[in-house]
Amino acid sequence: MLLGLFVDQRITDNKVIVHFCPFEKSEKLYFMNQQSSHEELCSPPQGWEIDDAFDLMLSCGEERIRDYTIKFMASAYVKKTRLYDPACSTGVFLSTLKKVFPDSYTIGQDLNRLMTEIYRQRVDEVHCGNAMERKIEPGTAYYCFVRFQNSEVLKSTEAEDLLSALLPTVKKGG
């Protein structure tokens, strides 16, 4: 953990450089003691509120992971593959993959009903519900994308249980 005032960042091909002015020890202690809760942040139980600006922001925030996924899938391409995203947000991730791999079948799920209405036009199959309660049959997805285990979305203590719950969705060899 870095505690200080952010100055600048540089992203290169193989690293991220962060420039900051570090806090003094007394400032760090003051900051840590001012936190009202030492609980890990995560999204609200009903999911995020969504509008067009938030949809665009989420889409921009995952450009790198979409590009990486496309390259990975192209190197191990399987025809007529089923792509399952149990927390697909607004569906841009799956719809981008569908454009590159048009013979794939996309299945999106999200706990936010409004998001499911948005991505209904972007994916082949839509489900509303918590990712812990998967909506597809076991062994039917070739890929299961677990992109949402990042900061402030899911608590670390929930991550292992979630992965265990989603693993059965992937077919053998997937």
Residue 124: the pLDDT is 97
Q: Which helix (H) or strand (E) holds 70?
A: helix 63-75
CATH superfamily of 52-169: Vaccinia Virus protein VP39 (3.40.50.150)
Residue range(s) in the chain whose domain bears CATH number 3.40.50.150: 52-169
In the chain (174 residues long), the average pLDDT of successive 10-residue segments reads 85 89 87 66 62 70 88 90 90 93 95 83 92 91 83 71 92 93
DSSP 7-26: EEEEE-SS-EEEEEEEPPHH
Residue 33: the pLDDT is 76
Q: How far apart are CA 150 and CA 68, in angstroms?
A: 17
Residue 21, both tokens: 């002015």
Residue 27: the pLDDT is 86
- Long-range residue pairs from 38-47, CB within 8 A, at least 24 positions apart, any chain: 40/155, 40/156, 40/157, 41/151, 41/152, 42/152, 42/153, 42/154, 42/155, 42/158, 43/152, 43/153, 43/154, 45/111, 46/111, 46/112, 47/110, 47/111, 47/112, 47/115
